Amino acid sequence: MNTAIIGASGYSGGELLRLLEGHPFFNPIVFAAHSQAGEKITSLHPHLHQYEHQFFSAADPEVLSECDLIFLALPAGESAKFLPHFTDEQLIVDLGADFRLKSGEFWDKYYGGPHAGTWTYGLPELHGRKEIIASSKRIASPGCYATAITLSCAPIVDLIEADDIVVVAASGTTGAGRGLKHHLLGSEVMGSLSSYKFGGIHQHTPEIEESLEQILGSEVKISFTPILAPMPRGILSTTTAKLKPGVTLEKNSKCF
């Protein structure tokens, strides 16, 4: 499949390039990165030596039309702008947030602006999702925190008091993207842990709640404290909740 990556210069784009290079079915031919157009891929991703002779380009609609599969690795609110350039036959996978949420109200609250719509949620580890994803042409890849936390709760969400789930999760600095921010400088981050966007305002909160509500069939509420850790990548998530009355570890040992 001829494949395009829009947003190939970022951290997500770089990781995607690494995975695609070794895949037998994908043929990456477009490496779009508007601000880096004309630059060598290895100037930003020096570890991707297999792309040594490839260059970033602008996202040319005519060239994109030649692609069977398009990955969008863009900041929130940017992916939806490319929809007019795609055909119904093309497979589109959005690594950003634009199409994850079902609720337009939640989108406006946590991201702002008009809600672009809802695509198939691309978390195949959830029961029954793999077949749905395989048959979809529009797929919304889940967020980083959302993946870790949802998968920790999904197997036992019907055994716990799901309206009072408490999560503390530490993430590395690459989760904030490649843009220069003073609070992500090495001298600011090294040797410390700092919480941020706590108190129900982190944008992955509604994504997690919606995913677990689909499994449980009733309301889910999480109290989420994200923490910035002095590491480049990775997430360590600790999730706690009370068992429902009458549920014991002995009766449900296979679930724990």
Catalytic sites, residue numbers: 144
Q: State which amino acid sits at residue 232.
A: P
Structure tokens at 157: 């969400």
Q: At what angle do helices 205-216 and 144-153 cross, to 10 degrees?
A: 30
Q: How many CA atoms lie within 13 A of 98 on its CB side?
A: 21
Burial class (CB in 10 A: 0-12, 13-18, 19+), 113: exposed
Q: Which residues contact 149 (CB under 8 A, 6 or more apart)?
A: 167, 169, 204, 208, 222, 224, 237, 239
Structure tokens at 89: 């036959």
